[in-house]
Structure 1
């Protein structure tokens, strides 16, 4: 693993291998903590293979058994069942793994996805409170529409409020939208967004870093926010309360070295917003015009334009 710039890491990528993918699933089935997964990612990016790490983990119980082969075969059957259900199973070394997400220090080892995958997907996250004001809803819709006009993907979390509004506006505008969700890919949270989940997968993609049948809990959404930040060029926060989980995405974006745009209402109404406004590469916008002007300035940066220019030039 090599550090390109503070907080950003490059991972060697090869042609994905079905056995290695199954071995990674088997390893993660035997890893119960976030810290344990991070350690596996560290070893993996330093050149270890999933099969070798699994062999270190599993000792044979007798001369006639091979627990690695048994565990790999069991995991391969799981992968085949998921794929039969239309779910992409993507490891960190898979060339389908999102390019920008691979660059952050806390990238997940495994992703599940439905929809149309792009290794290089130039998107801006539009996120905020589940309980959103009419003004906030209008701002989220306008931002999503104008991002689509710039051929940018609208990224959000498929939650109620700001997230759902952003996805819906992107779809109405005929653009691409991506959801990074805080449950397994087979779950729908909130339940009323089941149809929206399907529409986003049909016209963009839905990603999850959790086992497909996992429900929501207090740990899943903070992890999801970090992954969404890693996937995106930048994050725009439309509205958020003092205790909103969206503040975690702002913090993670700063750690990732990704720009954050806070709408003025976040500054006016929350202490965390005022504190965050003083962090590096955090910008404040009074309205959608100012937010989009900031996006346009950010897109002039060479490191952001690197993948964006070939698609718009």
Structure 2
């Protein structure tokens, strides 16, 4: 459930609050410190107040918090002039489903059309994808578009590139959650695809715009992608694939996971994951989409049950 404090923000989460949040995050050096900041904001509900406490003036004539906010507002204006949206936790624009997970990022950079409510399914898998995996990813993305769902993926090579391209060909909305800053392109050959996804959907990054990829960025974005999505379909992955991190995060978030049977047959982590709550195994795209349809029908089933018991 969304934290109660978020309900206090509409109407008063203004440009100063956004700038204060960015200024606070500029001073964060570890993931743990970032989570502590989110917890403090959950309790205090004001980035400006927290920044003022951390930057207490040294004399009566200085206002370091105001100076920091003014500087960051200039940065935000420059980003926005470049077509980059700056979205902080607590704003109405922040994706609602992502707000519900424990490791939600406090700051998102975005290009494209941002929807606070976006029904999407993540389609993920290995960079080194087989011809069967390529066909599976393309078919799944196309069928998701036919159901009016967004296709969520990570703009990486292999399964993710295939899923984005298939969604675009089908005329649907596709959303990329990337493991670099939003001004970087990884792999470099996906520069044009990055632009196309932003034009027909959205690209999100939780990292500073110029940050390159490293061993920490992709696991973090896997958690964000899981939190953004209704469910995750894992098309094809090896024993050491980073996709296993996405699967683990989705289970931790309580989000449904659909494993294609080859993942279960070929990996130890796939077999272990298959035994977790709300993890399903599908032999082909038809079975996977039948599971998706059942997941989409859950709210109706719950409403029907409540009406019967009421």
TM-score w.r.t. the length of structure 2 is 0.94
Return the match for 1:14 from 10, 15, 24: 10
C-alpha distance in 2 between matches for 1:207 and 1:297: 28
- What is the aligned partner in structure 2 of residue 180 from structure 1? 177
1:115-194, aligned counterparts within 5 Å?
115-194=112-191
1:31-70, aligned counterparts within 5 Å?
31-70=28-67
C-alpha distance in 2 between matches for 1:303 and 1:255: 24
CA contact (8 A) 1:299 1:305 kept: no
Kindly state the Cα deviation for residue 303 of structure 1 after the two structures are TM-superposed: 8.2
1:181–1:303 distance in 2 versus 1, CA, 3 Å? farther
C-alpha distance in 2 between matches for 1:160 and 1:303: 37
**Where does structure 2 lack aligned partners over 5 or more consecutive residues?**
304-310
C-alpha distance in 2 between matches for 1:115 and 1:290: 32
Per-residue CA distance 1:23-75 (angstroms, 9 max, x = gap): 00000001111111111111212243001111121122333211101111111
Deviates further, 236-245 or 52-61: 52-61
- What is the aligned partner in structure 2 of residue 311 from structure 1? none
TM-score w.r.t. the length of structure 1 is 0.93
1:30 aligns with 2:35: no
C-alpha distance in 1 between matches for 2:254 and 2:281: 17
- What is the aligned partner in structure 1 of residue 281 from structure 2? 284
1:200 aligns with 2:200: no
1:9–1:235 distance in 2 versus 1, CA, 3 Å? farther
| SS of structure 2 residue aligned to 1:235 | strand
C-alpha distance in 2 between matches for 1:61 and 1:159: 48
Which has the larger share of helix? 2
Per-residue CA distance 1:267-289 (angstroms, 9 max, x = gap): 11110000000000000001101
